[in-house]
Structure 1
Amino acid sequence: MGDRSLFFYGTLLHPAILSRVIHGPSNPTFNEHNTYVTTCSAVLPAHSRHRVRGADYPAVIPESAPDAGVRGTLARGLTDNDVRRLDIFEGDEYARLPVKVIPLLDQGHSSMKGRNHESDHESAEKTSVAPEEVQAETYIWIASRNRLEKEEWDFDSFVQEKMHFWLGGETEKEEFGAVDADHKVDGTGGRSISGDIGRALQKEYGSSVEKSEDSAREMVRSAV
Structure 2
Amino acid sequence: MTGYSAFFYGSLMSKKVLARGEEYPAITTCVGGQVTGILAQGLTAKDIEALDVFEGDWYQRIAVQVTDGQEMIDTEAYLYIGDQALLTGQEWDFNQFLTSGKEQKWLDDRCDFYEVDTFHQI
Give deviations 1:121-170, integer Å, cap 9, x for gaps. Answer: xxxxxxxxx3x3210000000012222222101112222321113434xx
> Which residue among 100, 109, 116 is the counterpart of 1:201?
116
- TM-score normalised per structure 2: 0.85
Are the structure 2 counterparts of residues 154 and 2 from structure 1 closer, same or farther at C-alpha, using a change threshold of 3 Å?
same
Q: Give structure 1 regions of 4+ aligned residues with deviation exceeding 4 angstroms.
A: none
Are the structure 2 counterparts of residues 101 and 89 from structure 1 closer, same or farther at C-alpha, using a change threshold of 3 Å?
same
Give deviations 1:195-216, integer Å, cap 9, x for gaps. Answer: 2xx2312321331xxxxxxxxx
Q: Show the counterpart of 1:20.
A: 20
User: How far, CA to CA, are the matches of 1:166 and 1:2 in structure 2?
Assistant: 33
- TM-score normalised per structure 1: 0.49
> Highest CA radius of gyration, 1 or 2?
1
> Which of the pair has the greater relative contact order for Cα pairs under 8 Å at 6+ separation?
2
Q: Is the 8 A contact 1:2 1:80 kept in 2?
A: no
**Structure 1 gap segments, 5+ residues each:** 22-54, 105-129, 169-177, 179-191, 208-224
Q: Show the counterpart of 1:62.
A: 29
Task: Using the aligned pairs only, state the percent identity.
Answer: 36
> Is 1:81 aligned to 2:46, yes or no?
yes
Q: Show the counterpart of 2:66.
A: 101
* C-alpha deviation, 1:100, in angstroms: 1.1
